[in-house]
Structure 1
Amino acid sequence: MSTPSSWPLTSDSIRFVVPRRVVAALASHPLSAQLYPLGIGYYQHARGHRMQRANHDDNLLIYCLEGRGKLTLNGRGRTVKPGDLIILPRGLSHSYETRDQDPWSILWVHFEGELATRFIGQLEVDDGSALLPLGIHSRLVADFEALLDARQASHNLTAFIHCANQLRQLLTHIALLKPMATRPAGDSMDLETIHSLMQARLHEQLDIDTLAQVVNLSKFHFIKKYKALTGTTPISHFIHLKIERACHLLDVTSKGVNEVAWALGYDDAYYFSRIFKKSMGMSPSQYRRIRLGGFSYKN
């Protein structure tokens, strides 16, 4: 692990370094070799905390919860604010420090593994700043805190393997949050309103023009922004919601396929069945047979 800072730990802060013997076991175990933690911590109101690394030999995430700090890469300084995530992959020289007049509180994890570079790659920021403005998310905080629970594990390898897989969850959770974080200023869109409208209109058809009007955008710009934020098109998401609802109706009611299709705004049951099969890989009747034990998840 890269040399940790010499910041004197306070009573309300945590610094946990995974024992080297455990690190070696994680690096060779098939359930953890791809990704595993080296050190985990929480620094509260860390006045005087600063670090500079010319040779960074692992990967590091820092999640700022309170206060302010400064991150410097290639001579360029960036202000770190609450909700910002610092992403520092192996080999990236850097320095960071808190502001003494408004000291930061941060969660952090150093990690390694065969797939560490790929996990980091999902989080890369286009401008190369290594700073991702995620905002404060209670679930993400809980993900970091779950890693910190590893310090209670003594040298139990099974517990550390569990911790390694919780690290996977944390990194993939950040990847899910990233599209919302990287929106250009003034380029926001009220996804909650759009998705609420979709839910309210599941029983009928809904066109792009109607959705675009809700957020006062042209059809072209609406589709472009929506896909940038969600990774899919609005109509694809609407169809996905309809199929979810269809699965629910097939599970909890005795409605026939024709009735389910009609309840979701499809006059043509055959067309509905084609869309359902394209999404689920099985027909509506085959899906219902799963509930009755007559059809498997795989075949």
Structure 2
Amino acid sequence: MSQPSEWPLPPESSRFVVPRKIVAKLSHHHLSKGLYPIGLGYYKQAANHTMLRRTHDDYLMIYCLDGQGELTLDHESYEVKAGDMILLPRGIPHAYKASEKTPWTIYWIHFSGDQSEEFIDYLAVRDNKFIFPLGIHSRLTSDFESLLECRQSSYNISAFIHAANLLRQILTHIAQLQPLAKQQQVAHNFNLELIHSLMQARTHEQLDLNTLAEAANLSKFHFIKKYKELTGTTPINHFIHLKIERACHLLDITTKSINEISFAVGYEDAYYFSRIFKKIMGISPSQYRRMRMGTFPYQA
């Protein structure tokens, strides 16, 4: 792994390098070889903490809980503040340090595995985009604490396999937090909750992009672009899914015909509605209703 810091640990801090024998086992075990930790720690108010790596042969995650720091990449420096997550792929020379006035408190993990690069791609880590403002989340902090417990297990391989899967959980949790963080960043000029409330209130009719864009005080082009940045989908696609959710609810709680339900969610053509329903749900409206009644198999 990349050289860990030799910075003297302050009180209530920890640093743990996974033994090489354990790393070797993790790299071959079918339950952990995709992703596993090779070093991890917690630094509290890390005054004078600095690191320079010209060679970086693993993957690094740093979660800043408090204070501030600085990340330097290719002679350009970036501020790191509380709630920020740093994700550095293998092969990226870097330097970082704690702020002199308000030194950071951080969790950190060096990790490796066959799927490490896939997780980096999944989290949309790109050139010059290695810092993600996630905010402070108690569950994420709890996951890091649980992961750190593996340092008490010495050479118990089952504990480290568990740790490997906790690491996987942390990275997939980060993916869930990213859209929420983006939403908070643009909350001052894009009220996503307002847009979704408008959609929800009009699932019984048609709703065009111009109406939604006007509600957001944006041009249609910028509205679609901003919405997709925040949600990963288009506004019309989300609106259609809301309609189908409503249709499923009506199929569950009423005896209305397919034609009536089609009309109730804004589709005058029941055949077109059934096509959309099947595209999203994988089965037709009538099959969905039969499945609820137990006369159609859950898996066709």
AA at the equivalent of 1:261: S
Measure, in 1, the Cα distance between the counterparts of 2:251 and 2:40.
46
| Number of the residue aligned with 1:272 | 273
| Number of the residue aligned with 1:5 | 5
| Number of the residue aligned with 2:220 | 219
Q: 1:77 to 1:220 in 2, by over 3 A?
A: closer
AA at the equivalent of 2:264: A
Identity, % of aligned positions: 62
How many aligned residue pairs are there? 298
| Number of the residue aligned with 1:201 | 202
Measure, in 2, the Cα distance between the counterparts of 1:145 and 1:188.
36
| Number of the residue aligned with 2:238 | 237
1:9 aligns to what SS in structure 2?
coil
2:41 aligns to what SS in structure 1?
strand
Superimposed CA distance per residue, residues 65-86 of structure 1 (whole angstroms, 9 cap, x where no aligned partner)? 2111111111111111112221
Pairwise CA distance, 1:181: 5.3
Measure, in 2, the Cα distance between the counterparts of 1:258 and 1:10.
69
| Number of the residue aligned with 1:163 | 163
State which drifts further: 220-229 or 131-140. 131-140
Measure, in 2, the Cα distance between the counterparts of 1:203 and 1:153.
57
Alignment pair present for 1:283 and 2:284: yes
2:251 aligns to what SS in structure 1?
helix
Q: 1:211 to 1:152 in 2, by over 3 A?
A: farther
| Number of the residue aligned with 2:75 | 75
Pairwise CA distance, 1:297: 4.1
1:229 aligns to what SS in structure 2?
helix
Q: Does the CA-based 8 Å contact 1:64-1:81 persist in structure 2?
A: yes
| Number of the residue aligned with 1:141 | 141
Pairwise CA distance, 1:177: 4.0
1:28 aligns to what SS in structure 2?
coil
Measure, in 1, the Cα distance between the counterparts of 2:10 and 2:256.
62
Pairwise CA distance, 1:127: 5.2
Give structure 1 stretches of 5+ with no counterpart: none
Measure, in 2, the Cα distance between the counterparts of 1:97 and 1:30.
37
> TM-score scaled by structure 2?
0.87
> TM-score scaled by structure 1?
0.87
2:200 aligns to what SS in structure 1?
helix
Measure, in 2, the Cα distance between the counterparts of 1:203 and 1:142.
42
| Number of the residue aligned with 2:22 | 22
State which drifts further: 94-103 or 238-247. 238-247
Q: 1:256 to 1:23 in 2, by over 3 A?
A: farther
